[in-house]
């Protein structure tokens, strides 16, 4: 079944759109933060260290949320936990508009991150379990493509709202997903595989221990390396993108404009990955797209003209987000239903530690006078390590049923 056919199938279309919109709202909030901190740096006079701290605290919340939500979703259901996390992050995002100090904003960004981090692995697990094996990888990559749409919405808000109405208005818009949660209560249901997970009656301790049992330990090690390196490099590079544009000499509005154009390249990155993942397999998509991400990172760092910056940035967006789609499709397929959400959540949680370190490290290095090229060489190495983990430790899961293994 091709992409068009998958989207025409009524049940799959409803699930993808329902879960995908919640994914879009997640990305919109994360994307808005990258633009808001660029504006706050001007309005509040924030240092590079403080900008990095906001992003790091948001990522700490995401790490905690991913671990908690993943474990809870195996016990209480994917749909229930998805709705709860959506409510948490949208409420905290709206309250961020009222922040009157740097400390208060950091607290609210932690809570927002908790909801964001919890929603993503649960949504991908839900979709992965709800479609046939032959379409599973493609469906999850298509779900991930809503992330690009969310970043595009964030870039549009930054370009049209923040310059005229301020960063607080952007956070108010971020509260809108709370209303969408009411619709999700009726639109999504737990897949049949969740009943098998619930019937296993494992305790939380047993679920966590099972992820590192002999059956899963190689896959878990590979995933934790992959997630850490991908999240570390992504948040280190993309949350700093508007600020890096300022460092390259562009105005705030012009930097927002360029980032919007660069973000548009994420969509074809997802769509090509969705096609290749069922044709050539998960490992091919991950290794190839990660290698090209590494090359694009160096290219972007070396670029100095507007045309070259945009082209290199689009290449970075294209391949990096395609790799993200492959990672989200691959991860649930390595665990059986009774520990699947726990396995996905813990891998995502460990990856979010990289999301803490990446932005904070960039802030510290920039404040210390380190060049953009030197910073991106670090990300180049990290991405190569992630690709190597998949190549040498990963197993191909294309067309396989994890519960039948």
Q: pLDDT tens across 34-50, in order?
A: 778 878 888 888 887 78
**Range 81-108 average pLDDT:** 92
C-alpha count within 13 angstroms, C-beta hemisphere, residue 191: 22
Residue 18's closest CA among 175, 142, 154? 142
Mean pLDDT of the chain: 87
Instruction: Identify the pLDDT of residue 1.
Output: 46
Q: Tell whether 131 is covered by a domain.
A: yes
197 lies in a domain?
Answer: no
Element (H, E) at 63: helix 48-76
Q: Which of 116-125, 185-194, 228-237 has the lowest mean pLDDT?
A: 185-194
Q: Is the distance from CB of 237 to CB of 383 less than 8 angstroms?
A: no
Nearest to 235 by CA among 362, 67, 148, 112: 362
The whole-number pLDDT of residue 163 equals 84
Q: In the predicted model, is pLDDT for residue 245 greater than 80? A: no
244 inside domain: yes
Mean pLDDT of 56-73: 90
Q: What pLDDT score was predicted for residue 226?
A: 98
Number of H helices, E strands in the chain: 19, 0
Give the CATH number of the domain where residue 259 resides: 1.20.1250.20
Report pLDDT for 380: 97
Select from 237, 255, 235 the least CA-distant residue to 245.
255
- What is the model's pLDDT at position 197? 65
Residue 342, Cβ neighbours under 10 Å: how many? 28
DSSP symbols for 224-244:
HHHHHHHHHHHHHHHTTHHHH
pLDDT per position as a tens digit, 349-358: 999 899 888 8
Task: For residue 166, give the 3-state DSSP assignment.
Answer: coil
Q: HEC profile for 173-210? A: HCCCHHHHHHHHHHHCCCCHHHHHHHHCCCCHHHHHHH
Question: What's the whole-number mean pLDDT along residues 194-209?
Answer: 78
What's the pTM? 0.84
Does residue 288 fall inside a structural domain? yes
* Tally of domains within the chain: 1
- Domain that includes residue 343, residue range: 9-177+203-404
The pLDDT value recorded for residue 10 is 67
Is 58 within a domain? yes
Could you tell me if residue 196 is inside a domain?
no
Q: Is residue 281 part of a domain?
A: yes
Would residue 245 count as lying in a domain?
Answer: yes
Mean pLDDT throughout 335-363? 90
**Region of poorest pLDDT, from 82-86, 251-255, 397-401:** 251-255
Rounded mean pLDDT of 313-326?
Answer: 94
Contact 344, 123 (CB under 8 A): no
In the structure, what pLDDT confidence band is assigned to residue 405 with cuts at 50, 70 and 90? low
For residues 254 and 397, which has the higher predicted lDDT (pLDDT)?
397
Given this model, what pLDDT does residue 216 score?
Answer: 96
């Amino acid at each position: 079944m091709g992409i068009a056919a998958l989207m025409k199938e009524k049940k799959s279309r409803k699930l993808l759109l329902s879960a995908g919109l919640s994914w879009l709202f997640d990305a919109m909030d994360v994307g808005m933060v990258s633009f808001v901190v660029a504006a706050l740096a001007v309005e509040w006079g924030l240092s590079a260290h403080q900008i990095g701290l906001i992003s790091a605290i948001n990522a700490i919340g995401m790490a905690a949320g991913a671990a908690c939500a993943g474990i809870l979703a195996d016990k209480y259901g994917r749909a229930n936990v998805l709705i709860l996390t959506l409510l948490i992050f949208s409420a905290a995002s709206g309250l961020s508009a009222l922040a009157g100090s740097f400390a208060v904003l950091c607290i609210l960004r932690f809570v927002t991150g908790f909801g964001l981090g919890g929603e993503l692995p649960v949504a991908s697990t839900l979709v992965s379990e709800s479609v046939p094996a032959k379409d599973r990888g493609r469906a999850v990559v298509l779900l991930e493509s809503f992330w690009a749409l969310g970043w595009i919405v964030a870039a549009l808000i930054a370009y049209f709202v923040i310059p005229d109405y301020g960063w607080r208005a952007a956070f108010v818009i971020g509260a809108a997903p709370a209303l969408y949660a009411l619709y999700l209560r009726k639109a999504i249901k737990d897949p049949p595989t969740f009943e098998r997970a619930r019937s296993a009656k494992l305790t939380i301790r047993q679920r966590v221990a099972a992820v590192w049992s002999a059956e899963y330990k190689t896959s878990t090690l590979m995933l934790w390396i992959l997630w850490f390196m991908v999240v570390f490099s992504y948040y280190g590079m993309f949350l700093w993108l508007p600020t890096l544009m300022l460092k390259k000499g562009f105005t705030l509005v012009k930097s927002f404009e360029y980032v919007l154009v660069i973000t548009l390249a994420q969509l074809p990155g997802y769509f090509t990955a969705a096609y290749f993942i069922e044709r050539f397999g998960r490992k091919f998509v991950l290794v190839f797209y990660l290698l090209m991400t590494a090359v694009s990172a160096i290219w972007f760092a070396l670029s100095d003209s507007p045309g070259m910056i945009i082209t290199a940035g689009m290449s970075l967006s294209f391949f990096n987000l395609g790799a993200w789609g492959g990672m989200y499709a691959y991860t649930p397929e390595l665990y059986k239903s009774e520990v699947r959400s726990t396995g996905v959540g813990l891998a995502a949680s460990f990856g979010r530690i990289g999301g803490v370190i990446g932005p904070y490290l960039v802030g510290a290095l920039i404040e210390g006078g380190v060049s953009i090229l030197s910073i991106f060489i670090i990300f180049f190495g990290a991405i190569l390590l992630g690709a190597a983990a998949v190549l040498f430790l990963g197993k191909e899961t294309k067309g396989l049923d994890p519960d039948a293994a």
